[in-house]
Amino acid sequence: MADTDDSKITGLLGRDFKRSLAAGNLNLCMTVRYSRTIEIAQVTRLAGYDALYCDLEHSALTIDQVSQISMAAAMSGIVPLVRVPCHGHHYISRVLDGGAHGVVVPHVDTVDEAKACVDACRYPPMGGRSLTGLGPLAGQSVGTTDAYRLINENTVLIVMLESPEAIKNADAIAAVEGVDMLLIGTNDLCMEMGIPGQLDSDQVRDAYQTTADACKKHGKALGIGGIKEGPMLDAIYAMGGRFIMGRVDGVLMSMAATTEVKTLRKLGS
């Protein structure tokens, strides 16, 4: 029996994020690769995103930098996620200890790999994560037992399916307790399928449908990566995709800068 009134605990953004997804709400996430300081958290909030994720797989960001950004995002009311570069405790536990409220794990192809991810990000008895400070619960009146239970329940684990093998195993991966979302990395999936860049192909649609069916069956969320617009995005939304991995911060800056330059160049023409 819990001694803590969970409804009075604040700072568990993962809880609100999971509830929002379960309610069928659309959740948008900015990808951070180029920003190095905490101001990006405010930009993300003011733009209207629900989450940001710092990408340690495809950037030169350090754990120190993503920890600072994660803590700033949490204080801004934005769910801080971090994509780790590989599987394993040595990255997953460190980014969670540093302030992330969830992790995105790339290239999860099998049930065993999904279970290893759960083990890395959940405290006993759900997993094998090493005990540390109370993270998002710091400074609140909550007992140790309840604290680790709450963190276990509200830490977000997103596994990425990026190969035909992963899609084949989607149902079994979705059945793994402790996995919250299956997120398809569409660009890598297309490469693995031998159809690079063909994001609107029937193979991609079929892969999403297979994964969507698995998510519905096991009560997991479906995430969309690499598709930002067009009929395919509409189709995946209709399948139940409610988490969209948005554009990279540097790309968004470039798009805005290009638009401004085109506008200003019209002066005197």
Domain range 10-264, CATH class: alpha beta
Q: In terms of pTM, does the model score above 0.85?
A: yes
pLDDT in tens, 36-70: 999 999 999 999 999 999 999 999 999 999 999 99
**pLDDT at res. 2:** 52
Average pLDDT of the residues in 70-77: 93
CA 65 vs CA 34, 39, 72: distances in Å: 11, 12, 11
Per the CB < 8 A criterion, the answer to whether 157 and 184 are in contact is: no
**pLDDT (0 to 100) of residue 1:** 41
Residue type, 101: H
Q: Is the pLDDT of residue 269 over 90?
A: no
Cis amide prior to 125 (ω within 30 degrees): yes
| Catalytic residue selected from 58, 90, 101, 218 | 58
| Residue range 99-119: mean pLDDT, rounded | 97
To the query of whether residue 58 is one of the catalytic residues in this protein, the response is yes
Domain ranges of the chain: 10-264
The whole-angstrom separation of Cα 161 and Cα 58 is 16
Output 138 or 100, whichever has higher pLDDT. Answer: 100
pLDDT class of 8 with cuts at 50, 70, 90: low
What tens digit of pLDDT does each residue of 189-222 get?
Answer: 999 999 999 999 999 999 999 999 999 999 999 9
